[in-house]
Amino acid sequence: MRTLLKVAPRGKLEVGNGVGMSGVTIVTQNHITIGNHTLLGGGCEIYDNDFHELDPKERLEKSGNIKSYSVTIGNNVFIGAQSIILKGVTIGNCSIVGAGSVVAQNIPAYEVWAGNPACRIKSIASS
């Protein structure tokens, strides 16, 4: 598995200390932050943009109205294999995302989320 990190000219990617990645794809046109000691399972994808216009007319005209919102992943987060993190999402410290999940909304600290779309499974004890 290859890791693909694509940072657009105005994009910014910040990766903390002790982060583990295995064959991930990260594409930023805006800003993606990954906290310390976070683990990204094989095949995870993190995007801070839509890649194309959502309106069909704008897409045909290539108007450049591509939406992009920062992604923030906290410290000590575990993201299971093949998960996708979409634009505008914040994942709180020490949270877990189950394998194969699609995360389109914020996840508070110390919670387990999974599914498509990802939803809350349970809270986990904070230390």
Q: Which fold does the domain 4-123 belong to in CATH?
A: UDP N-Acetylglucosamine Acyltransferase; domain 1 (2.160.10)
Q: What is the pLDDT of residue 50?
A: 83
Residue-wise pLDDT for 90-102, tens only, equals 999 999 999 999 9
> Is residue 52 annotated as part of the catalytic site, yes or no?
yes
Please pick, among 3, 10, 51, 52, the residue that the annotation labels catalytic. Answer: 52
Contact 44, 38 (CB under 8 A): no
Domain ranges of the chain: 4-123
Alpha-carbon gap, residue 32 to 119, rounded angstroms:
22
Interior angle at CA 114, CA 110 and CA 116, nearest 5: 145
Q: What is the pLDDT of residue 14?
A: 97
User: Which among 23, 89, 29, 127 is positioned nearest to 113, based on CA atoms?
Assistant: 89
Q: What is the pLDDT of residue 127?
A: 60
Q: Spell out, as residue ranges, where the chain has pLDDT lower than 70.
A: 53, 59, 63-65, 127
